[in-house]
Chains A and B, each alone.
Chain A
Amino acid sequence: MLKTFSIGGIHPAENKLSAQNPIATLDLPAQAIVMLAQHIGAPAEPVVQKGDIVKTGQLIAKASGFVSANIHAPVSGTIEKIDDVADASGYKRKAIFIKTDGDEWLETIDRTPDLKKEISLSPAEIIQRIADAGIVGMGGATFPTHIKLAPPPGKKCDILIINGVECEPYLTADHRVMLEKGDEIMVGIAILMKALSVNKAIIGIENNKPDAIAHLNKMAQAYQGISIMPLKVQYPQGGEKQLIDACIGRQVPSGKLPIEVGAVVQNIGTALAIYEAVQKNKPLIERVITVTGKSVSTPGNYLARIGTPMLSLIEASGGLPVDTGKIIGGGPMMGKALTSIDIPVTKGSSGLLIMPDREATRQPMQNCIRCAKCVSACPMGLEPYLLMVLSQKGIWDRAEEEKVMDCIECGSCSFTCPSQRPLLDHIRLGKNKVGQIMRSRTK
């Protein structure tokens, strides 16, 4: 029997409309808007000024602080300005505006398509290279990768798990990368294994991608210690904790990181970026994005430079449908609804989902009928109906006891509730509040 995680879970309609469409390279944007905060942690610090000429791949902002990431020029051209721009949530954030003028790359970057297999760098050098290249978790969490690769003292990693699950409905970017960049991914994984000094890696892939499973299985023959694990389709299998549980049956304890059970999880896209950074010296300046939706005329997967306006992605897929009611950055379960399409691609953009009007709004909420379906669905074994009430009433200490902080914000509860209750909306607020309280306590 196929494995999956052990508690809760749901089965949203998969809608992988663009699974068969190969990755197309998008044209360079006329102007690249590079946000300074596109990762978790402190925004990067600009190292260029207005009027500077930059080459593609050149460092334009450096990491500031421990949790932060470098940012590189995605195009070559002139720095127009460093100014505020509304981000996906409508708040103004700093960004570097580059006026594109061709695509002249830094000479140090190897742009040949040849596969480079030998890993000459030492683990410490690998991690440094990854940090230099500004690589962050590409599944959407955007946590700086080099930090994840350096386990805290006293903790030892014994297995690397690669997330090829792509459990979000609609999204197919990782799927395509697995099919088209199999070799690069394998080398990327080998690099990661060396950096972590583990001799075992598992690629978890849901069973709805048999072609990717077969393809990578074939590739894996040539690499020591890498195996593919097909998993039963169930959301949220791509959650770090769920994936570890599904693949190796270890459960990360409440409030702890995966390293506690000896595992490190990396995304497929990240593995590819690591290959390019370490073997080709290429920083993270582009990524694969799925543009999809039932009303989109040609859903597709695109390789786009960071800083490309979302609008050009939509245009490449046949333009914005007239009945568009909602645009989501990411997948429908955990993605963020956008307030406008005048925002740029960032390192964490995994998809752009366009929903027609009729699907865009929620149904009216009703009383909780205590059906316990949210409890059955929650992959963390929480009681969402209760957490919602506690958070509405502001009973933060009870919410903490009921482990509100364990919520992974997967949305399974809101998805399931027959009364259409906005459970996660309230639980997320509860998490924020309880998190603040806990931090102020340790201070």
Chain B
Amino acid sequence: MSVVMITIATLVVLGATAAVILYAAAQKFKVYEDPRIDQVEAVLPAANCGGCGFPGCRAFAEALVKADDISTLLCPVGGAAVMAQAAGILGKEAAATAPMVAVVRCNGNCDVRPKTNNYDGASSCAIAASLYGGDTGCSFGCLGLGDCVDACQFDAMYMDEKTGLPVIIEDKCVACGACVKACPKIIIQLRKKGPKSRRIFVSCVNKDKGGVARKACEVACIGCGKCEKVCPHGAITITNNLAYIDDEKCKLCRKCVEVCPTNAIHEINFPPRKEKTTEEKTEEAPAN
């Protein structure tokens, strides 16, 4: 009997001491955490993709709570809606942002951009790019080894086996920018998704002179300047033999798309054109 009593007593005393120590420790090492961090974190998408520039959603929540002006901070995954929610919790102003999407600015598939050599190194664009210009005559274009696809955490990209180019699945793309960072050739860019997801961009980053670019790839931008001249909104500039369309200024009139002799300018999600233009296009095609 007494053995049992002693055992119980010892355990009780032990337990109590441990509890006291634990409590004291918890008090001593307690860190004050702003409860709003948890609230904000709860509205964030929990993708932990790093698209905001912070190491994860919690870190971003902390930054949002700490910063007085949050207009420069953006969660690209959640977009304006989530930012508004977070701003609401914190009583701060979120910047109004247009939704973005990644676009691939290279259209040089195997038919129009012939291979000039065979790459036989480790399968990584970064490694190939640091070795040499690439397996075609164009030293700016896509290497086709899929670093961007590997970087995408949202399954929003895949490599098209036929063209050898990456494809972005618009609906899944959250514009976190991981692929932009992964691409050593800086081919992928985040652009405004545009009204009804319509957008126009130059699908080429080749800065070689027109003749050289054209020789390497049939659909390269040759820097001829036709688009720059035709654009009524001054959205197009040509630098280093390469046209660039400013998505802030572009009004989606599509004039440039028509004049581009190499079809380097792409329009996305537009309805088909009126009869006349389509005819012209088909007639022109063989001449290219």
Q: For chain A, give the interface size range.
A: 10 to 19
Known: A339-B116, A340-B116. A91 touches B124 (CB 8 A): no
Say yes or no for B208: interface residue by CB 8 A criterion.
yes
B130 to A428, Cβ gap below 8 A? yes
Neighbour of A91 across the interface among B117, B120, B127, B133, CB < 8 A: B133
Query: How does the 8 Å CB contact mask read for B6-41 relative to A, with 1 for contact and 0 for none?
Result: 000000000000000000000000000000000000
Neighbour of A426 across the interface among B116, B117, B118, B122, CB < 8 A: B122
A429 to B130, Cβ gap below 8 A? yes
Please give, as numbers and ranges, the residues of chain B lying within 8 Å of A432 by CB-CB distance: 130
Please give, as numbers and ranges, the residues of chain A lying within 8 Å of B132 by CB-CB distance: 88-91, 337, 339
**Cα distance A339–B131 when bound, in Å?**
11
Query: For chain A residues 321-348, which have a beta carbon within 8 Å of chain B?
Result: 337, 339-340
Please give, as numbers and ranges, the residues of chain B lying within 8 Å of A88 by CB-CB distance: 132
Known: A90-B139, A92-B208. A425 touches B121 (CB 8 A): yes
A92 to B139, Cβ gap below 8 A? yes
Query: For chain A residues 65-97, which have a beta carbon within 8 Å of chain B?
Result: 84, 86, 88-92
Neighbour of A422 across the interface among B121, B126, B134, CB < 8 A: B121
Q: How far is the CB of B259 from the nearest CB of chain A, in Å?
A: 27
A428 to B127, Cβ gap below 8 A? yes
| Identity of the chain B residue whose Cβ is nearest the Cβ of A339 in the assembled complex | B117
**Cα distance A339–B128 when bound, in Å?**
13
Query: For chain B residues 155-212, which have a beta carbon within 8 Å of chain A?
Result: 208
* B interface residues, tally (CB under 8 Å): 16
Please give, as numbers and ranges, the residues of chain A lying within 8 Å of B127 by CB-CB distance: 425-426, 428-429
B126 to A429, Cβ gap below 8 A? yes
Known: A361-B120, A426-B122. A90 touches B134 (CB 8 A): yes
| Identity of the chain A residue whose Cβ is nearest the Cβ of B131 in the assembled complex | A89
Query: For chain A residues 272-293, which have a beta carbon within 8 Å of chain B?
Result: none
Say yes or no for A362: interface residue by CB 8 A criterion.
yes
**Cα distance A210–B192 when bound, in Å?**
70
Q: How far is the CB of A66 from the nearest CB of chain B, in Å?
A: 25
Q: How far is the CB of B181 from the nearest CB of chain A, in Å?
A: 11
Please give, as numbers and ranges, the residues of chain A lying within 8 Å of B121 by CB-CB distance: 422, 425
| Identity of the chain A residue whose Cβ is nearest the Cβ of B182 in the assembled complex | A394
**Cα distance A426–B130 when bound, in Å?**
11
The listed residue with most B CB atoms (<10 A of its CB), out of A86, A361, A429, A432, is A429
B133 to A339, Cβ gap below 8 A? yes
A91 to B130, Cβ gap below 8 A? no
**Cα distance A337–B118 when bound, in Å?**
11
Please give, as numbers and ranges, the residues of chain B lying within 8 Å of A90 by CB-CB distance: 132-134, 139
**Cα distance A428–B129 when bound, in Å?**
12
Please give, as numbers and ranges, the residues of chain B lying within 8 Å of A86 by CB-CB distance: 133, 139
The listed residue with most B CB atoms (<10 A of its CB), out of A86, A90, A428, is A90
**Cα distance A91–B208 when bound, in Å?**
10
Query: For chain B residues 48-99, which have a beta carbon within 8 Å of chain A?
Result: none
Please give, as numbers and ranges, the residues of chain A lying within 8 Å of B124 by CB-CB distance: 425-426, 429
Q: How far is the CB of A224 from the nearest CB of chain B, in Å?
A: 46
**Cα distance A362–B131 when bound, in Å?**
16
Q: How far is the CB of B199 from the nearest CB of chain A, in Å?
A: 31
**Cα distance A362–B139 when bound, in Å?**
24
The listed residue with most A CB atoms (<10 A of its CB), out of B117, B132, B139, is B132
**Cα distance A422–B130 when bound, in Å?**
15
Please give, as numbers and ranges, the residues of chain A lying within 8 Å of B122 by CB-CB distance: 422, 425-426
The listed residue with most B CB atoms (<10 A of its CB), out of A84, A88, A425, A426, is A425
Please give, as numbers and ranges, the residues of chain A lying within 8 Å of B116 by CB-CB distance: 339-340
| Identity of the chain A residue whose Cβ is nearest the Cβ of B118 in the assembled complex | A361
29 of the cross-chain contacts (CB-CB < 8 Å) are: A84-B208, A86-B139, A89-B131, A89-B132, A89-B133, A90-B132, A90-B133, A90-B134, A90-B139, A91-B132, A92-B139, A92-B208, A339-B116, A339-B117, A339-B133, A340-B116, A340-B117, A361-B118, A361-B120, A362-B120, A422-B122, A425-B121, A425-B122, A425-B124, A425-B127, A426-B122, A426-B127, A428-B130, A429-B130
Q: Which 3 A-B residue pairs are closest in the complex by CB-CB distance?
A: A90-B133, A89-B132, A425-B122
Q: A89-B133, A432-B130 are in contact. List 16 more A-B contacts (CB 8 A).
A: A89-B131, A89-B132, A91-B132, A91-B133, A337-B132, A339-B116, A339-B133, A340-B116, A360-B120, A361-B118, A422-B121, A425-B121, A426-B124, A426-B127, A428-B127, A429-B127
